[in-house]
Amino acid sequence: MSKQAPRLALAASSIAVAIATPAAAQDVAISSERLANLEEPLATEVGPITVEFSGLIDARVDYDFEEGMNDLDDDDAVNPGIIGNFEFNASTQLGNRWNVGVAYFGQYERDELIGGEYTDRVAGFIQGSYGTALGGEVMDIVREETRRVRGTGNADLAFDDALGAAKGWGGGYVGQFGPSRLSAIVDEDGNYDLGIVYERPSGRAGYRYALRFTDAQYLAPDGLTEFETNALMGTFEYLYSRSVYNVGGGVESLEAGPVLAKRWFVSGGWQRQWGAFTTSLEGHYGQIEGQEEKSAAFGLDYAFARGMSFNLGVNHSDAQVVVDGITILDEKETTATSSLRFGF
């Protein structure tokens, strides 16, 4: 997420779609944060402009098991904090039935480790019967369109994506054509992300298939080495009754000068609603040049009032990958996060 002020010019993308069936207009949401608001946004009319607003406040406590094992009084293991975010969307319809508007997302996070930090992103859009064209900080759109459904509560599965990612400002497109949904973005440096999703019910179950290709860059943990990356990923999801089962995987090539590393990975998850409770369980395994990356996540969400919920997450990650003297991944931690959340 960019921390810079909006720039005077946006990078543009030009995408042609040769499909006869028009796409329905799409809702515009630019947040890719794990703490997404599930409530319907507040909406009002201001003259010819429709204004929508939604927000979320999450008061939390993180516990780091690695620190707890090394710190007898647990002072460094417990980290209380608060996260608040909001999304604002203003749009109007032109005489040719196009919707034009702007979306803004802001988030403030504070805890004992990072102090206080505010991040934001902004985008403009034009929306018609053949889909939505966007410009601005829209780099996560294809990822959000094609990813497996997120774990519930405070579950956060590590490594469950390509390492390389488009960044900064750029342009994108999202369109719905029958049961298929297309998405694409290109950033100011020429990195791009392409995705297609096919989703429809069959009998009493629902099926969702997704395919994504990304050409981007990955900055190594040393903060100096930048890899050129290409990744191809796929996702399958099965929905039945109150349960969701999914699996995803991919292959990725990382290149920096003479260093070339091949990566493959697979992730899977299960999620189920039990009355007011929702639980999820996820796992991930992959290898980079024969060196392992592993992660797991458990999540729980208890909705006890409209917009209010108690959330729990236990997350584990473990990967120390070094190729030709360059560290590609360096992470090993197990954390538990509990929080009280209110969305409006």
Q: In 3-state terms, what secondary structure has residue 300?
A: strand
| Distance, CA of 158 to CA of 331 (rounded, Å) | 10
| Distance, CA of 83 to CA of 117 (rounded, Å) | 10
Going by pLDDT thresholds of 50, 70 and 90, the confidence category of residue 10 is very low
Mean pLDDT (whole number) for 55-66: 92
Contact 180, 164 (CB under 8 A): no
In degrees and rounded to multiples of 5, residue 241 shows phi and psi of: 55, -120
pTM: 0.85
pLDDT digits (tens, 9 = 90+) for 84-139: 999 999 999 998 889 999 999 999 999 887 789 999 999 999 999 899 999 999 99
Percent of residues, the chain, with pLDDT higher than 90? 74
Q: Are strands 226-240 and 259-274 parallel, antiparallel or unpaired?
A: unpaired
- Who's near 115: CB < 8 A, 6+ residues apart? none
pLDDT at res. 34: 62
pLDDT at res. 18: 28
Q: Which residue has the higher pLDDT, 256 or 7?
A: 256
Owner of token pair 């900055």: 219
Going by pLDDT thresholds of 50, 70 and 90, the confidence category of residue 221 is very high
Going by pLDDT thresholds of 50, 70 and 90, the confidence category of residue 5 is very low
| Distance, CA of 183 to CA of 143 (rounded, Å) | 9
Going by pLDDT thresholds of 50, 70 and 90, the confidence category of residue 42 is confident
Contact 274, 174 (CB under 8 A): no
Q: Closest Cα to residue 331, out of 344, 342, 316?
A: 316
Judge whether residue 26 has pLDDT over 80.
no
| Distance, CA of 335 to CA of 62 (rounded, Å) | 7
In degrees and rounded to multiples of 5, residue 141 shows phi and psi of: -60, -50
Going by pLDDT thresholds of 50, 70 and 90, the confidence category of residue 28 is low
pLDDT at res. 72: 56
Q: For residue 31, how many other CB atoms are within 10 A of its CB?
A: 21
Mean pLDDT (whole number) for 269-280: 96
Query: Cα 101 to the chain's mean position, in Å?
Result: 22
